[in-house]
Every structure is written in structure tokens, then in C-alpha cells.
Structure 1
Amino acid sequence: MQLTWLDSNSWLMEIGSKRLLIDPWLVGPLVFGNVPWLFKGEKKTPRPIPENVDLIVLSQGLEDHAHPETLKQLDKNIPVVASPTAAKVAQKFDYSQIITLNHGDTYSFENSVEIRAVPGSLVGPTLVENGYILKDLTNSNSIYYEPHGNHSEEIKKFAPIDVVISPIINLNLPLLGPVIKGNESALQVAKWLQPQVMLPTAAGGDIDFQGLLMSILKAEGSVEETQSLFVKNNLATKVIEPKPGKSLEIQLEQRN
């Protein structure tokens, strides 16, 4: 299993002999709702679009998960697996195959990788987007991905999961609380899923962020604090901090 963090929520996963591109933001700026004065992200180091991508996976319809400029440039013949809102974004760019997954749905990609949609992030008052459990059908290794740290108790029935990709820090807005949940939610999901490895996501990367939101967002937590918390709770999970653009070969122990 090889994983490459491409900044923000974007990952290239090599699993089950397939290359999956997760929530890609690879080109152009990141802006929400065309209001750059509120929030704008720009990559300090351009990330080339990965070659030989077999599948695109989108967890949410927001710009930092279904990035319009990136989706516009990717090969439209690559199949897309998406939440219902992300599928609507992909449809605007005429992808030839879009598989929409509601919570509880599964999709088997070429008998190599199984993708299961589970309840993920609460976006707005009522919309719950997707988290995903990805299973290598050749060796049963598994990954759980949820980019905002919102973990449904439903995932407990799929334990153990080998690798968890989720935030480990909080990003807080005054009065509103955390928009990204790490800290306690990282400990909770580690207790539920007993992963061998946890990789943080959503916490920037090699990016220049600007705008009003950046002046009031407050970050809490660190890799060291999370690892210490796991040790105190007798969890064997190892926290690995990825470097943007650098591939990680994840070595997993065979579970009984």
C-alpha cells in the first residue's frame, strides 16, 4: 500500500494494484463561493497531475474536495466515485462514468478495490457527506478516510481498519467551534477501529492561505500530542506525519 499526500485533502492511493485519486485539488487556487477575500489557498509548489490514475473518489461537493478547476483538467474517461453532491459537480465536466454512492452503498472497482460509503462530515444544517472505507480485495488491507473528523458510530462494525486518514488537530472558529475536528475525534476513531497507522489530513501542507477566515481560525493539537494520547490510552496506533508530494510505503502487520 502506497499513499501520497498532495496537500489539503488530496491523496493518491495505490491499493489493490489501482491508483486512486482522492478529493483532488491540483491546479489553480482554492476559493469557496467565488469570494477570495474570505478564503483563498494557493499552492507554493505546483503539483503535477498524477499519471495513470484509475479512479477518482470525491467525498464532498465543496470546492476543497470536488475542486472545479482540477476536475476540468483531469481525463474525463477516468471513472468517478462520488457523494451525491460531488457527483453533481463532476457531471458539469462531462465525465464518462460517475458512480454515486449514498451511505451504506458499496462499489467494487475491477475486483481490486471495494469502496464503501459511510456517514461523514456534516456540511450545513442537514447535509451529511461521505466518508469511505476502501478495501484491497487482493489482501484485505483497508483504509478509512474522513476529511473533517466527523466519525459515525456505524463504522465500528467494520473494525479493525488498518489505516485511518483523518484530521488530528482542531480548526476552530470563534463562537462556532471546530470546523475540522481532530484531537478527541482522532482518539475516538482509534479506539473504534484499532488502526495500525493514522495519517493526518486537511491541515494545510505546502500552501499559502489568505483571507478573513485565516485571521480568526485557531489550530489546536499536533502529531506529538496525538501520539502521546494514544500511548496513554494503550493504543498501538502509530501516527505518521506525511510530507506533501512524498510517497509513503505503508508496512502493515498481518492480523489474526
Structure 2
Amino acid sequence: MYLTWLDNNSWLIEIAGKSILLDPWLVGSLTFGNVDWFFKGSLSQQRPIPENIDLILLSQGLPDHAHPPTLEQLDRKIPVVASPSAAKVVQGLGYSFVTVLTHGEAFTLNHQVEIKAVPGSVVGPNAVENGYLLKELESGFTLYYEPHGTHSSQLKQAAPVDVIITPIVDLTLPLVGPIIKGTNGALEVAKWLQPQVMLPTAAGKNVIFEGLIPKFLQAVGSVAEFRSLLAKNNLTTQVIEALPGDRIQLQLHKRTVAI
């Protein structure tokens, strides 16, 4: 399994010989409702669109996960698996093959990779977006992704999981609290799933944020502090802090099954 962090929430997952592009923001700026004064993100280094993509996977319909300018650059014939809100975005852009997954539903890519939707982030008063469990069917290796640090207790049924991609640092707003639930959520899900490897996501590296909201955002925690928390809880999970563009080969081992 190979993972390439493309910055922010964007990943290229190479699993079972297939390339899955996850929540891509690779070109243009990021705004919500085209209100630049409120929030605007700009890439200091735009990433080339990966070639030979077998599937686009979208966890949310918000622009930082289903980014219209990026999706407009991609081939509309690439199959898409998406949450209901993200599916509306790609369908509106003319994508031909869109599979909508609600919580508990699964999709199998070429009989090699199973993708199961699980409850993820709460977006709006009643909307719960998707997290995903990706399982390489031949090896049994499993990856879990949730970009806001909201982890459903239903995940306990999936344990153990080999790889987790989720925030490990909190992003908070005064009077509001955490909008990205990193440290405590990541520790809790690590206890549940006993991963071999964890990789942080959501914290943009080569991104310039402007507007009202970024002025008040505060990051709480660090990779070093999280590693220390894992050790204090007797967890041997390796934390890999990826750099944008680096292709990382994960050295995973088969787990011994007790009889």
C-alpha cells in the first residue's frame, strides 16, 4: 500500500494496484459560498493531477472535500464514490458514473478493494457525512479515513484496522470550540482500532489561509505530543508525518489471529 498526501484533506491511495484519489483540492482557491472575506485558502504550490486514477472518493459535499475547480479538471468518466451531498456536486458537473454510499453501505472496486461508508463528520444541524473503511480483499489490510476527527463507536466492530488517516491536532475557534477534533478523538479511535500506522490529515502545509475565520483559528497539540500520548497508553502505533507530494510505502504486517 502506498499513500501520497497531496496537502489539506487530499490523498492518493494506491491499494491492490488501484489508484484512489481522495477528497482532492489540487488547483485554484478554496472558498465557501464564494465569500473571500470570510475564508479563502490558496495553494502556494499547485499539485499536478495524478494520472491513471481508477476512482475518486469523496467524503463530504463541502468545497474542501468536493472541490469544484479540481473536479472540473478531472475526466468525467472516472468512477466516483461519494456521500449523498458530494454526489450532488459531481453529478452537477456531469460525471457519468457516481455511486452514492450511505452509512453501512459498501462498494467493491474491481473485486479487489471494498469501500464501506461509516458515520463521519456532523455538517449542519442534521447532516452526518461519511468516513470510509477501505479493505484490500486479498491481503485483508484495512484503512480508515475521517477528516474532522468525528469517530462513530460503530467502528469498534471493524477492529483491528491497520492504517488510520485522521487529524491528530485540534483546530479551535473562540466561543465555538474544536471544529477539527484531533488529539482526543484520534487517541480514542486508536484505542478502538489498534492501528499499525496513523497519518495526520486536514492541517494544510503549503496553503495560505486568509479572511476572518483563519484569524481566529488556533491549533492545539502536535505530532510529538500525540506520539507521547500513544506511548502512555501502551499503543505501539507508528505515526508518520507525511510531507506534501511524498509517496510513502507502508510496511504492514499480517496480524496473528488467536484461535
Same structural fold, with TM-score higher than 0.5 when normalized by the shorter chain: yes
TM superposition shift of 1:31? 0.7
Report the aligned-residue RMSD.
0.6
Q: Spell out the pairing of 1:68-79 with structure 2 (5 A cutoff).
A: 68-79=68-79
Cα distance in 2 for partners of 1:210, 1:204 equals 13
1:213 maps to what in 2? 213
- For 2:46 and 2:152, how far apart are their aligned partners in 1? 35
Instruction: State how far apart, in whole Å, the 1-side matches of 2:245 and 2:199 are.
Output: 14
Determine the structure 2 residue equivalent to 1:113.
113
1:56-83 Cα offsets, whole Å, 9 max, x none, are: 0000000000001111110011000000
* Counterpart position of 1:94: 94
Per-residue deviation, 1:89: 0.4
**TM-score (ref. length: structure 2):** 0.98
In the alignment, residue 208 of structure 1 is paired with which amino acid? Answer: I
Distance in 2, Cα, partners of 1:120 & 1:61: 12
The one-letter code matched in structure 2 to 1:178 is P
Aligned-partner Cα distance in 2 for 1:214–1:172: 10
TM-superposed CA distance for 1:137, in Å, is 1.2
2:32 matched residue in structure 1: 32
Offset at 1:126? Answer: 1.1
Structure 1 position 232 matched with structure 2 position 232: yes
Q: CA deviation at 1:138?
A: 1.9
Paired with 2:93 and 2:39, the residues of 1 have a C-alpha distance of 24
Query: Identity over the aligned pairs, expressed in percent?
Result: 61
Partner Cα distance (1:44, 1:211) in 2: 16
TM-score by length of 1: 0.99
How far residue 125 of structure 1 moved from its aligned partner, in angstroms, is: 1.3
Q: What secondary structure does 1:7 align onto?
A: coil
> Following the alignment from structure 1 to structure 2, what is the Cα–Cα distance between the partners of residues 94 and 110?
23
In structure 1, C-alpha distance between the alignment counterparts of 2:104 and 2:205, rounded to whole Å: 31
Aligned runs of 1:170-189 on 2, under 5 Å? 170-189=170-189
For residue 46 of structure 2, give the secondary structure of its aligned residue in structure 1. coil
Distance 2:249 2:169 in 1: 24
Aligned-residue offset at 1:207: 0.9
How much does 1:254 deviate? Answer: 1.2
For residue 11 of structure 2, what is the amino acid of its counterpart?
W
Q: Deviations over 1:144-171 (max 9, x none)?
A: 0000000000011000000000000000
Q: Give SS of 1:116's match.
A: strand
Name the SS of the counterpart of 1:178 in structure 2: strand
For residues 12-91 of structure 1, what are the structure 2 equivalents within 5 Å? 12-91=12-91
CA distance in 2 between counterparts of 1:137 and 1:47 reads 30
SS in 2 for 1:81: strand
How does 1:129-144 map onto structure 2 within 5 Å? 129-144=129-144
Give, in angstroms, the shift of residue 253 of structure 1. Answer: 1.3
Deviations 1:63-113 (A, max 9, x none): 000001111110011000000000000101111100000000000111111
Task: Determine the C-alpha separation between the residues in 2 that align with 1:205 and 1:131.
Answer: 22
Query: How many residues end up aligned between the 2 structures?
Result: 256
Distance 1:138 1:27 in 2: 35
1:195-254, Cα deviation, whole Å (9 max, x unpaired): 000000001111111111111001101100000000000001111100001111010011
Match of 1:254 in 2: 254
Which residue pairs with 2:125 in the alignment? Answer: 125
Counterpart residue type for residue 34 of structure 2: N
Alpha-carbon distance between aligned partners in 2 of 1:247 and 1:205, rounded to the nearest angstrom: 16
Name 1:153's counterpart in structure 2: 153
Aligned mates of 1:32, 1:81 — CA distance in 2: 22
Q: Distance in 2 between matches of 1:17 and 1:205?
A: 28
